[in-house]
Structure 1
Amino acid sequence: MMIKNIIFDFGGVLLDWNPRYLYKDYFRDGREMEHFLADVCTPERNSELDCGFPFAEWVRKYQKMYPEYSEAIALYHTGWPKMLGGLLPDGAALLRDMKSAGYGIYGLTNWSAETICYAYEAFGDLKPLFDGIIVSGEEKTLKPGPEIYRILLDRYSLRPEECVFLDDSRQNVDGAIAVGINGVLYDDIARVRSELSGLLK
């Protein structure tokens, strides 16, 4: 079956997102920052936001659990845009190349509905190149669960075997493969382009 559509993850593929960009100036001690990000505002807890948990409630919830970090937890919300480092040039160039070659371009991201606007701002003139975008926080379901991939396929009338999904998480790639979508792990850009070329032949 011919590939017609390329589906892009956002963070780690198209956008540079890292809470350390925000907190390196807040915490004087790098070890304390790493403790905070490993034990307080963890990736697992960030996933609650990606699944649609209201940001203000999330802040209050963890401020009660960690009152000594109340200010730092509030900053996770108020300072969120500073976590974005901007477009990743390799991923952006790949997207432009695929669009120019005539492929449908879609986005599938685990991202809070309340902060996705900052991602769109960072995209700049890349944003209009998308034919459709699914945001976990708006759908209240996350990769790598099957539901979010099916939402994308159903909403845009896509056939899974005609799609390739690019993500920097092996779990998320495997989630796509489980519903019949071709998956490519996004790591080294030369390897990604080579694997993609093989699928597009």
Structure 2
Amino acid sequence: MTIKAVVFDFGGVLIDWNRDYLYRQLIPDETERRWFLDNVCKMEWVVQQDGGQSIEEGTAELIALYPAHEALIRAFYARWPEMVQGVLDEGVALVDQLDAAGVPLFGLTNWSAETFPYAWERFDVLRKFREIVVSGRVGLIKPDPQIFALMHAEIDKQLPGIRPNELVFIDDNLKNAQAATALGWHGVHYTSATEAESQLRALNLPI
């Protein structure tokens, strides 16, 4: 078995994004903040925008449900860059090692089409990837098998005939890694760079 390409998720692997970075400033009380992020600006709502819904529409819908929290809801995307602390150095080092060894790299990320340009403009590591599938641009979201099929098709354009078992997918979300594995890819649940390196070496990747 030969691995011919590695596909990376971004948030939590290469990019340090966390809602708390902003909302610790806006809601200092831990209990209040957790309630707000678990019930109002919850991840299920974020995923709607990551799946292609416009920020304007998503914000309006949430304000209609929670009008008393309008200011805090609007802050989510108005101050979205404050949720991004920068790159995760260990993950970036992993990309650099694979790139230096000549391993073809691709990106598959759940990310709003409207906020992704912010990351693209600021983080050079993203230019290491031959192709990036952004969920908000294609209207599909991990772990939907269709977005993996789309990623596979994009890779196949550059590496014709590549099979699922020749692909590795690295994601900090266990469900996404499992979805890749279910499709015949080698799903790696990213918990640390050290653990990921160990799994990549076991697949005979030059790292």
User: Any idea what SS the aligned residue of 2:26 has?
Assistant: coil
Query: How far apart are the structure 2 equivalents of 1:22 and 1:52?
Result: 23
Unaligned runs of 5+ in 2: 157-161
Which stretch has the larger CA shift, 54-63 or 153-162? 153-162
Give the Cα separation in 2 of the matches to 1:23 and 1:191: 31
> Does 2:21 match 1:17?
no
Which of 178, 181, 191 does residue 182 from structure 2 map onto? 178
Pair 1:150 & 2:149 matched: yes
* 1:87–1:122 contact (8 Å) kept in structure 2: no
Offset, 1:68: 0.9
Task: Determine the structure 1 residue equivalent to 2:47.
Answer: 47
- Taking the aligned partners of 1:87 and 1:159, their CA distance within structure 2 comes to 31
Q: Secondary structure at the match of 1:24?
A: helix
> Which deviations, in whole Å up to 9, do the C-alpha atoms of 1:11-44 show, x marking residues without a partner?
1100111011111111232221111101000011
Q: Give distance in 1, aligned partners of 2:202 and 2:120.
A: 30
With the length of structure 2 as denominator, give the TM-score of the two structures. 0.93
1:39-66 superposed Cα distances (whole Å, 9 cap, x missing partner)? 0000111110110011001111111110
1:30-109 → structure 2 map (5 Å cutoff) = 30-109=30-109
- Residue matched to 1:141: 140
* Structure 1 portions without partners, runs of 5+: none
> Identity, % of aligned pairs?
40
CA contact (8 A) 1:146 1:178 kept: no
- Give the Å deviation of 1:180: 1.4
1:162-188 CA distance string (max 9 Å, x none): 111100111101111122111111002
Provide the alpha-carbon RMSD of the alignment: 1.1
- 1:192 aligned to 2:196? yes
